[in-house]
């Protein structure tokens, strides 16, 4: 699941993998095509069921405020409120295993956009155009270079966040594209050993 919290509880693309500061994605292998229509319908239902299971929250701790999905339930989110103190959070899941890595990024952005658009707490949209595949690759390259020169392999992702984000931002002076934080986060997860290197853009492996 990915936990985003509009009101100061942001976490970042975690992938159960409960890992990052703003989002968590679980992996689900994509079903192969060329099956009968009825089989395709069954696969869609199965994906939706898996998504619901991934987004289950403890009802003794959370009240559900709303939920939604994108791309035939490949991506989904739940808005919830903590019973203990009333704080709100958004949990996200992205089933992107088997996707081209740039397509996985686009799935992430579509899921995030849908979650933010329906958030019970207003969220200001991130400025700029989406990063192209080349820009995302360049950002990951900068992030991985920073990690290799400044940190030991396996270093916790939170310890490397500031240095990586600063280096990536410095490599994109002027107008920045949307996706630079995503690129830095994926690089940090890979370097920490949380994610496999195959989750990097092809040019960065």
pLDDT tens string 131-171: 999 999 999 999 999 999 999 999 999 999 999 999 999 99
pTM: 0.74
Residues 109 and 164 in one domain: no
Residue 125 maps to a domain: no
Residues 86 and 57 in one domain: yes
Match 């089989």 to its residue by tokens.
39
Residues 13 and 63 in one domain: yes
Upstream peptide bond of 17 is cis (omega within 30 degrees of 0): yes
Query: Which residue did the predictor score with more confidence, 40 or 21?
Result: 40
Q: What is the pLDDT of residue 52?
A: 63
H-only helix segments in the chain: 37-54, 101-117, 133-150, 157-170, 180-191
* 110 pLDDT tier (thresholds 50, 70, 90): very high
Domain boundary among 71, 92, 117: 117
User: Are the beta carbons of 91 and 24 closer than 8 angstroms?
Assistant: yes
Residues 58 and 92 in one domain: yes
Residue 124 maps to a domain: no
Round to whole Å and give the CA distance between 121 and 118.
Answer: 9
Give the residue from 187, 14, 188 showing the smallest Cα distance to 101.
187
Residues 73 and 138 in one domain: no
Residue 122 maps to a domain: no
Q: Is residue 86's pLDDT more than 50?
A: yes
Residues 69 and 43 in one domain: yes
Q: Residues 185-196: pLDDT tens digits?
A: 999 999 999 889
Average pLDDT over residues 10-37: 32
Average pLDDT over residues 116-122: 85
Residue 73 maps to a domain: yes
Domain boundary among 117, 145, 165: 117
Residues 90 and 185 in one domain: no
Residue 126 maps to a domain: no
Q: What is the pLDDT of residue 11?
A: 33
Residues 29 and 60 in one domain: yes
Average pLDDT over residues 88-98: 83
Q: What percent of the chain has pLDDT over 90?
A: 41
Query: Which residue did the predictor score with more confidence, 201 or 23?
Result: 201
How close are the terminal C-alpha atoms of the chain, in Å? 25
Residue 123 maps to a domain: no
**Number of domains forming the structure of the chain:** 2
Give the residue from 61, 56, 62, 59 showing the smallest Cα distance to 76.
56
Residues 139 and 112 in one domain: no
Average pLDDT over residues 64-71: 91
Rounded to 10 degrees, the C-alpha dihedral 88/57/107/104 comes to: 120
Mean pLDDT (the chain, rounded) = 77
Match 């939170």 to its residue by tokens.
158
Q: What is the pLDDT of residue 50?
A: 56
Residues 100 and 147 in one domain: no
Q: What is the pLDDT of residue 36?
A: 37
Residue 183 maps to a domain: yes
Q: What is the pLDDT of residue 51?
A: 59
Residues 104 and 165 in one domain: no
Residues 48 and 98 in one domain: yes
- Domain of 167 in residue numbering reads as 133-204
């Amino acid at each position: 699941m990915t936990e985003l919290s509009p009101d100061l509880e942001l976490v970042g693309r975690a992938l159960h993998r409960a890992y990052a500061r703003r989002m968590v994605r679980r992996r689900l292998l994509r079903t192969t095509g060329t099956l009968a229509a009825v089989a395709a319908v069954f696969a869609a239902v199965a994906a939706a069921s898996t998504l619901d299971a991934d987004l289950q929250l403890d009802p003794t701790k959370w009240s559900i405020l709303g939920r939604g999905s994108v791309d035939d339930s490949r991506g989904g989110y739940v808005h919830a409120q903590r019973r203990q103190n009333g704080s709100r959070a958004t949990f996200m899941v992205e089933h992107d295993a088997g996707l081209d890595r740039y397509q996985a990024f686009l799935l992430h952005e579509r899921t995030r956009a849908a979650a933010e658009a329906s958030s019970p707490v207003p969220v200001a949209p991130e400025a700029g155009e989406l990063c192209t595949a080349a820009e995302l690759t360049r950002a990951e390259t900068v992030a991985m270079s920073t990690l290799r020169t400044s940190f030991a392999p396996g270093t916790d992702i939170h310890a490397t966040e500031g240095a990586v984000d600063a280096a990536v931002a410095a490599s994109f002076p002027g107008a920045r594209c949307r996706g630079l934080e995503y690129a830095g986060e994926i690089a940090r997860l890979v370097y920490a050993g949380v994610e496999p290197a195959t989750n990097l853009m092809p040019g960065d492996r």
